[in-house]
Amino acid sequence: MAFTLAEIAARFGGRTVGEPGILIRQVGTLARAGEGEIAFLANPRYRPQLASTRASAVIVGPDAESLTALPRIVCDQPYVYFARVAQLLNPAAVARGGVHAQASVAPDAQVDDSARIDAGAIVEAGAIIGRACWIGAGSVIGGGVVLGEGCRIHASVVIYAGCRVGARAIIHSGAVIGADGFGFARDGERWIKIPQIGRVVIGDDVEIGAGTTIDRGAIDDTVIEDGVKLDNQIQIGHNCHVGAHTAMAGFSGLAGSVRLGRRCTLGAGAMVLGHLSVCDDTQISADTVVSRSIERPGTYTGMFPFSDHRAWGRNTAVVRHLAELVERVRRLERQLQEKETKHG
């Protein structure tokens, strides 16, 4: 597929500067783009690359318009604009309806004629597969699962019985939706398993990365609202509720019964401990462990920066004795205050 710069601007807005008839076939980075490709500048640190790029055109903000003579589209959000152009030039594959001869579909499962079921996939009893869904090779759609229209379930995904997935969801390989949550009751030296009878309910336009696991609810459902984006290898515990349009980076996780608000972001490796709530519009930095509920929106950081091993060891030793140091300071302040009072 190819579009002129003018055609792209007509679709997505923005202002063209330079030759509007330049033909664009693909997107690329400033460092590696070549003829027929369009790059973008969103981060000021990459401005030096703008002068040397071999891209045929670039997407820039108003503050960078004068930094290049290349044909360009000027817009307020270059990165968002680039994402739309990338989608235009790289449209998602469309399922061609049909059930592969080596797939297994239960007789009472409802599979829309436009849906595609690849080799080795299993669709169990009572499942409902919506229009234009695509079930990849080796995936398992459990009994009674409902998939909304246009879902793309990649190879080797497992969706356990009873779960619900909204329209246009994308679930990448190795994801497991609806496994049992970590529910056990201590009985002396033994653990008694608590049956996990809730479901996972996923909204529309959700994307779930490879190797991510979302546990079913113990009693109530685990809920992922519309537009949530989950990276690879994320753990969502049982009975969690993730608000609409929240995004979580790789290796982050939620312990059981967390309520995470709308439009939140979690950096890589961030964790929220069980039974806590995080309000809407909260940003949690990478590697931060949230150990109490957050009631005010903002950015929260709790990571301990790395340094060379010897310095890290010394700093850690100080942190271990921090409570003692605080108590000593308080005691000295009291003594000083008493002395000042005594001597008037």
Please indicate, yes or no, whether residues 191 and 274 belong to a single structural domain of this protein: yes
Q: Which residue among 89, 114, 129 closes a domain?
A: 89
Long-range CB pairs of 112-116 (<8 Å, 24+ gap) are: 112/149
Residue 344's pLDDT is what?
66
Catalytic, 245? Answer: no
Q: Compute the C-alpha angle 150/196/162, nearest 5°.
A: 25
Q: What is the pLDDT of residues 95-139, one digit of tens each?
A: 899 999 999 999 999 999 999 999 999 999 999 999 999 999 999
Identify the active-site residue in 172, 238, 241, 245: 238
Cα torsion through 217, 221, 222, 226, rounded to 10: 170
Q: What is the pLDDT of residues 59-102, one digit of tens each?
A: 999 999 999 999 999 999 999 999 999 999 999 988 899 999 99
User: What value does the mean pLDDT take over residues 29-54?
Assistant: 96
Number of structural domains the chain divides into:
3
Please indicate, yes or no, whether residues 80 and 112 belong to a single structural domain of this protein: no
Residue 338's pLDDT is what?
87
Q: What is the pLDDT of residues 270-298, one digit of tens each?
A: 999 999 999 999 999 999 999 999 999 99
Q: Is the model's pLDDT at 38 over the cut of 80?
A: yes
Q: Which domain holds residue 29?
A: 3-89
Please indicate, yes or no, whether residues 80 and 201 belong to a single structural domain of this protein: no
User: What value does the mean pLDDT take over residues 325-330?
Assistant: 93
Q: Is the model's pLDDT at 315 over the cut of 90?
A: no
Residue 275's pLDDT is what?
97
Q: Is the model's pLDDT at 304 over the cut of 80?
A: no
Q: Which residue among 89, 109, 141 closes a domain?
A: 89
Residue 318's pLDDT is what?
87
Residue 42's pLDDT is what?
95
Please indicate, yes or no, whether residues 279 and 161 belong to a single structural domain of this protein: yes
User: What value does the mean pLDDT take over residues 181-207?
Assistant: 97
Please indicate, yes or no, whether residues 267 and 132 belong to a single structural domain of this protein: yes
Residue 339's pLDDT is what?
85
Q: Taken in order 4, 6, 10, 13, is the CA torsion positive or negative?
A: positive
User: What value does the mean pLDDT take over residues 147-168?
Assistant: 98
Please indicate, yes or no, whether residues 234 and 287 belong to a single structural domain of this protein: yes
Question: 4-18, 23-37, 164-178, 311-325: which has the minimum mean pLDDT?
Answer: 311-325
Residue 316's pLDDT is what?
85
Task: For residue 189, give the amino acid letter.
Answer: E
Measured from the Cβ of residue 329, the count of other Cβ atoms closer than 10 Å reads: 10
Cα 49 to its chain centre, rounded Å, is 29
What residues pair up with 224 in beta bridges, in sequence order? Answer: 202, 242
Question: Binning pLDDT at 50, 70 and 90, where does residue 332 land?
Answer: very high
Please indicate, yes or no, whether residues 62 and 121 belong to a single structural domain of this protein: no
